[in-house]
Chain A
Amino acid sequence: MNGSVIAQLVVSGSLMGLVYALIAYGFQLTYATSKSINFGQGELVMVSAFICLTMTNLGISYWFMVPLGLMCGALLGLFVERAGVRLALEQKNEGWILLTIIIGLFFFSAAENIWGRDDRPFPTPISSEALQVAGIRITPLELSVALGVFAIMGIIELFKRKTLLGKAFEAVAADRDAAELMGISATKTIMLSYSLSGVVAAVAGLLVSPITTVGPTMASALVLKAFSVAVVAGLDSGFGVVLIGLFLGSLESLTSYYVGSGWREAPGLILLILALAVRPTGVFGKIPIKKV
């Protein structure tokens, strides 16, 4: 085995791993407040990427398009919450699993028909010419992915810790009933978490589409691995997703190189099933005490 090949594989793999971690972070945001996740999150990533692409094609400049794209992500997140999650939460059942899958399916089909089934390139002002750092090739585009992931996660964490609204968010996450008794509306906080999760999905779409191109299926593999990352790390683990994301990303690119590219999905899937078998609350998750 060649050391520099491995290093190269690990670096480029872990950059993709950061994207998985970002999508997984979107799951965590909604899980914290409502104990639900959007099974159609991948479609949110894909639809926001398509909307951003359309805006660019309409001649809107990249840096002006970004905030608009994020807003679309937030709106899509709100739509998912209203149409797919709220009723099930009110009835205290798990209908949201099915409903979010269904909404994802609808988005997928709509995207297929509106934007076509082909993959399309996504223009970006950031250069994709490789730089050599210590013998490893890395492009500014890839670096921008890492930077973007950390930036958005940092901003949301700061928001949660430093602002009053963010503290309300944390309060609902800690104890929904107690927060409601203190006059915090859980419904509004869950709406907030879904819109933030939508923003995160839109950021993921913006960051990843220059690398993977934009197409209806662009996020279906991404989101499977984001599920793995979220579950292995634990759905309530905060920054644990970053570590697991980096690990899974590099594991995957090594698998793809040494075993075959068809098997690249396998380690994530096996890891997820194993993690659930050994530690259902995830590596960094808290184990709840059963109460009766």
Chain B
Amino acid sequence: MIKRLFLICGAEALLALLMASIPMAVNNTFVLGLLTLLTIYAILLIGLGITVGYLGQINLAQAAFLGLGAYSAALGVTTFGCGMLPALMIATAVGCLFGGVLAFPALRLEGPQFALSTLSFMALTATTLNEWESLTGGAQGMSVPRPPIFGLMLNAKGFYWLCLILLGLVWVAMRNLLSSQWGRAFEALRDSPIATDAMGIGTHRHKAAAFILGSGIGGLAGGLYAFNFQFLQPQIFIYDLMVILLLGVVLGGRKSLWGAFVGAAIVVLLPNLLSNRLLFQIFSGTGFVFALIAGARGLLAKSTRPFQALAPVVAMGLLVFGGMFVDNTEDWRKAIFALMLFSVVVGLPDGLMGFAARLLTRLFRIIPAPFPAASDLESVLVCRQPTSEPILSVRELTRHFGGVRAVDGISLSVRSGSVHGLIGPNGSGKSTLVNVISGLYAPNSGEMLLHGVPLPRGSLFQVARRGIARTFQNLQIFTELSTLDNVMVAMKGIIRSPLPLVLLGLTGKSERRVQADGLALLELVGLADQSRIPAKDLPHGAQRFLEIARALARRPQLLILDEPAAGLAHPDVIKLLGIIRRIRQCGITILLIEHHMEVVSDLCDIVTVLDGGRIIAEGRPEEIKRHPKVIEAYLGARHVQSAGEPVAAAPELMPV
């Protein structure tokens, strides 16, 4: 524990100390310029890392936010006579503002569409900065005096220290944020937006928050950029810069503050590297050898695909080989960037720091921080006395898909504290019904009431916030998060941590409580000993149990289990029965969709049978098994006549 804290915080403190003391030891304006630029780029890349690393979206607009921040800080000084700090605040605010404007359309977008909208925003910004000559001076550029701070004029050294202090603040704030529930929420929505909404976390608000934050940081970096160079031209903030920024983020490593710093260092040093042939040859040669060793090891261990091992070797080889024949390496700057980026993206997806972090963790045997003791399950689930009043009533609900009436006028009432089974052959509308209730689809008509109050229609997020939690037939776990984090993130809407406190790092207590509660739920489903494993590495059955634990973290009044036994081995089915009974003891109402007849007859107080989008029978499990319409729906009409004794045969024949 102490070793861990000492190593991690110690490394950060050492870096800060080193960075702060260099200007005192080395009196060289060139070095000082590089260092200043390094801090500015590090701030910028930390901002970009939020969208690229945590949201997992390719954001091509960060260069534009740098430009917008730079110009607005400059205008703040030239037109309004702002001091340094107000101007930087303006730059940050403008970054946030435009980030918000762009986040609105970009919210609903994924992958290529997101990349395209940010690309367009960048091009639009460049056009505007270039054409709005009365404001920006157009292509001629504008010069910016460096304003005083607290009435004090800063020299180059002073300005560098200011940049360094700001980098430190941004670094600490981001570390606090990204290791909190917010960081988990960002990663969760990357892995499954649907589950993020269904867990009441809210996809849109977190996506917007992440993007606005990243843009604001970009704006701040822009303000510093303006005061560093004291001259701005629109041509600076275009495609080329964006490529360099991507290089920095990808090369340094996503999801890592150290990665942003290393990336910034490479970006700043690269031009000098390219202009010196010897340095370039050493650099590319090292890269080539590195790619060769990593590739060969990967191939021998069969842990990488041949392409993944060979392509970086070819690319780095081309770099070394090309470097010998080309007259002027600087002319080939972009191609060199491209080859380096290519090798890293293909061969080292976690970047240099991702690789280094794994290595260092092994080398120093850093043990992760221990978890607190698990909470008492009763306190986590907030047990209630069942009232046997209806908790959920559904009246005349319909949902069509084109001409298909998937749910065709269903009325249903779920008693509080009961386990209500929902069965029916494939395509009978079970899943559509719960998808409508839980808000994935809006109903075409009908009423849904929870405790007599209408439920929101067509919003997973709002339904979740009303106290309904669900699992998914096709698993929607947050694959990259650990098992415990999957459960913890679902508590984000329950145990709140306000953003300002998070940024200041003052939420340790609620964080420990969330951990303890999460562990209690993992104990319930028998996964407590696997809490640190990435959820994607759990076996299928364990992932189903994890979904149940995650849904319970919402402290639901009504829990919808969508085929929880699908694909489970027999011992796991037995385990599932035990878990559901335990949940029920806490007074949580359960709506259970299931194919396994043994599960249904063991657990359910009442069973509703659907066929063709309508209810064909309802009653206690033993009544349902004898119901002629049910037997007909499952086995066909022919069996009904000869069904003097179908009761015994039917359960086994129910499709599984």
Q: How far is the CB of A104 from chain B (nearest CB, A)?
A: 8
Q: How far is the CB of A239 from chain B (nearest CB, A)?
A: 21
The answer to the question of A99 belonging to the interface, with a C-beta cut-off of 8 Å to chain B, is yes
Interface residues of B in 265-324 (CB under 8 A from A): 305, 307-308, 311
The answer to the question of B116 belonging to the interface, with a C-beta cut-off of 8 Å to chain A, is yes
User: 0/1 per residue, A135-175, Cβ < 8 Å to B?
Assistant: 00000000000000000000000000000000000000000
CA distance A231 to B120 in the complex (A): 11
CA distance A95 to B116 in the complex (A): 15
Taking a contact as CB atoms under 8 Å apart, the answer to whether A270 and B124 are in contact is: yes
Given known pairs A83-B311, A231-B116, A290-B440, the reply for A94 and B127 (CB within 8 Å) is: no
Taking chain A's interface residues, is the majority helix, strand, or loop, or is none over half, making it mixed? helix
Central interface residue in A109, A112, A260, A263, by most chain B CB within 10 Å:
A109
Interface residues of B in 471-488 (CB under 8 A from A): 472-474, 476
CA distance A114 to B357 in the complex (A): 41
Taking a contact as CB atoms under 8 Å apart, the answer to whether B127 and A263 are in contact is: yes
Task: Give the residues in chain B near A109, CB-CB below 8 Å.
Answer: 332-336, 338
The answer to the question of B339 belonging to the interface, with a C-beta cut-off of 8 Å to chain A, is yes
Taking a contact as CB atoms under 8 Å apart, the answer to whether B106 and A224 are in contact is: no
CA distance A22 to B297 in the complex (A): 45
Size of A's binding interface in residues, CB under 8 A:
46
Interface residues of A in 239-265 (CB under 8 A from B): 260, 262-263, 265
Nearest-CB residue, chain A, relative to B57? A94
Q: Which of B113, B115, B334, B476 contacts A112 (CB 8 A)?
A: B334
Taking a contact as CB atoms under 8 Å apart, the answer to whether B335 and A90 are in contact is: no
CA distance A39 to B435 in the complex (A): 36
Q: How far is the CB of A46 from chain B (nearest CB, A)?
A: 14
CA distance A223 to B128 in the complex (A): 19
Task: Give the residues in chain A near B562, CB-CB below 8 Å.
Answer: 292
Task: Give the residues in chain A near B474, CB-CB below 8 Å.
Answer: 291-292
Task: Give the residues in chain B near A273, CB-CB below 8 Å.
Answer: 102, 105, 117, 120-121, 124
The answer to the question of B250 belonging to the interface, with a C-beta cut-off of 8 Å to chain A, is yes
Task: Give the residues in chain B near A277, CB-CB below 8 Å.
Answer: 104-105, 108
Taking a contact as CB atoms under 8 Å apart, the answer to whether A113 and B332 are in contact is: yes
Taking a contact as CB atoms under 8 Å apart, the answer to whether B111 and A227 are in contact is: no
Central interface residue in A262, A276, A292, by most chain B CB within 10 Å:
A292
CA distance A95 to B307 in the complex (A): 14
Nearest-CB residue, chain A, relative to B239? A220
Task: Give the residues in chain A near B345, CB-CB below 8 Å.
Answer: 95, 98-99, 102
CA distance A106 to B128 in the complex (A): 28
Given known pairs A87-B308, A103-B342, A277-B105, the reply for A272 and B334 (CB within 8 Å) is: no
Q: Which of A90, A97, A265 contacts B305 (CB 8 A)?
A: A90
Taking a contact as CB atoms under 8 Å apart, the answer to whether A262 and B127 are in contact is: yes
Nearest-CB residue, chain B, relative to A82? B307
Q: How many A-B residue pairs have CB under 8 A?
A: 131
Taking a contact as CB atoms under 8 Å apart, the answer to whether B120 and A113 are in contact is: no
Task: Give the residues in chain A near B346, CB-CB below 8 Å.
Answer: 87, 99
Task: Give the residues in chain A near B105, CB-CB below 8 Å.
Answer: 273-274, 276-277
Q: Which of B120, B194, B333 contacts A272 (CB 8 A)?
A: B120
Central interface residue in B113, B337, B349, by most chain A CB within 10 Å:
B113
The answer to the question of A195 belonging to the interface, with a C-beta cut-off of 8 Å to chain B, is no
Given known pairs A87-B305, A102-B345, the reply for A262 and B131 (CB within 8 Å) is: yes
CA distance A228 to B124 in the complex (A): 12
Interface residues of A in 54-107 (CB under 8 A from B): 83, 86-87, 90, 94-95, 97-99, 101-103, 105-106
Taking a contact as CB atoms under 8 Å apart, the answer to whether A292 and B440 are in contact is: yes
The answer to the question of B552 belonging to the interface, with a C-beta cut-off of 8 Å to chain A, is no
The answer to the question of A269 belonging to the interface, with a C-beta cut-off of 8 Å to chain B, is yes
Q: How far is the CB of B263 from chain A (nearest CB, A)?
A: 14
Nearest-CB residue, chain B, relative to A37? B112
Taking a contact as CB atoms under 8 Å apart, the answer to whether B131 and A260 are in contact is: yes
CA distance A50 to B346 in the complex (A): 29
Taking a contact as CB atoms under 8 Å apart, the answer to whether B440 and A105 are in contact is: no
The answer to the question of B331 belonging to the interface, with a C-beta cut-off of 8 Å to chain A, is yes
Taking a contact as CB atoms under 8 Å apart, the answer to whether A108 and B108 are in contact is: no
Task: Give the residues in chain B near A97, CB-CB below 8 Å.
Answer: 58, 111-112, 115
Q: Which of B106, B120, B342 contacts A227 (CB 8 A)?
A: B120
Taking a contact as CB atoms under 8 Å apart, the answer to whether A106 and B120 are in contact is: no
Task: Give the residues in chain A near B311, CB-CB below 8 Å.
Answer: 83, 87
Q: How far is the CB of B340 from chain A (nearest CB, A)?
A: 9
Task: Give the residues in chain B near A37, CB-CB below 8 Å.
Answer: 112
Taking a contact as CB atoms under 8 Å apart, the answer to whether A276 and B116 are in contact is: yes
Taking a contact as CB atoms under 8 Å apart, the answer to whether B113 and A231 are in contact is: yes
CA distance A109 to B329 in the complex (A): 11
Q: Which of B113, B130, B333, B338 contacts A262 (CB 8 A)?
A: B130
CA distance A220 to B119 in the complex (A): 12
The answer to the question of A110 belonging to the interface, with a C-beta cut-off of 8 Å to chain B, is yes
Taking a contact as CB atoms under 8 Å apart, the answer to whether A95 and B124 are in contact is: no
Q: Which of A101, A262, A280 contacts B108 (CB 8 A)?
A: A280
CA distance A103 to B346 in the complex (A): 12
Given known pairs A86-B307, A276-B106, A280-B109, the reply for A292 and B120 (CB within 8 Å) is: no
The answer to the question of B527 belonging to the interface, with a C-beta cut-off of 8 Å to chain A, is no
CA distance A263 to B339 in the complex (A): 34
CA distance A277 to B106 in the complex (A): 7
Taking a contact as CB atoms under 8 Å apart, the answer to whether B127 and A266 are in contact is: yes
The answer to the question of B201 belonging to the interface, with a C-beta cut-off of 8 Å to chain A, is no
CA distance A231 to B335 in the complex (A): 29
Taking a contact as CB atoms under 8 Å apart, the answer to whether A102 and B113 are in contact is: no
The answer to the question of A133 belonging to the interface, with a C-beta cut-off of 8 Å to chain B, is no
User: 0/1 per residue, B225-246, Cβ < 8 Å to A?
Assistant: 0000000000000010001001
Taking a contact as CB atoms under 8 Å apart, the answer to whether B341 and A98 are in contact is: yes
CA distance A290 to B194 in the complex (A): 9
* A98-B250, A220-B239, A273-B105 known, 7 other contacts, Cβ within 8 Å: A39-B115, A87-B346, A266-B127, A269-B121, A273-B120, A276-B106, A292-B473
Which B residues form the contact surface with A (CB < 8 A)?
A: 56, 58, 102, 104-106, 108-109, 111-113, 115-117, 119-121, 123-124, 127-128, 130-131, 194, 239, 243, 246, 250, 305, 307-308, 311, 326, 331-339, 341-342, 345-346, 349, 401, 431, 435, 440-441, 472-474, 476, 562
Which A residues form the contact surface with B (CB < 8 A)?
A: 36-37, 39, 83, 86-87, 90, 94-95, 97-99, 101-103, 105-106, 108-110, 112-113, 220, 224, 227-228, 231, 235, 260, 262-263, 265-266, 268-270, 272-274, 276-277, 280, 289-292
| Between-chain CB contacts (< 8 Å), 8 pairs | A97-B112, A99-B345, A109-B338, A113-B332, A265-B127, A272-B117, A273-B124, A276-B109
Please give me the 7 A-B residue pairs with the lowest Cβ-Cβ distance, nearest first: A277-B105, A109-B335, A109-B334, A106-B338, A262-B131, A105-B338, A269-B120
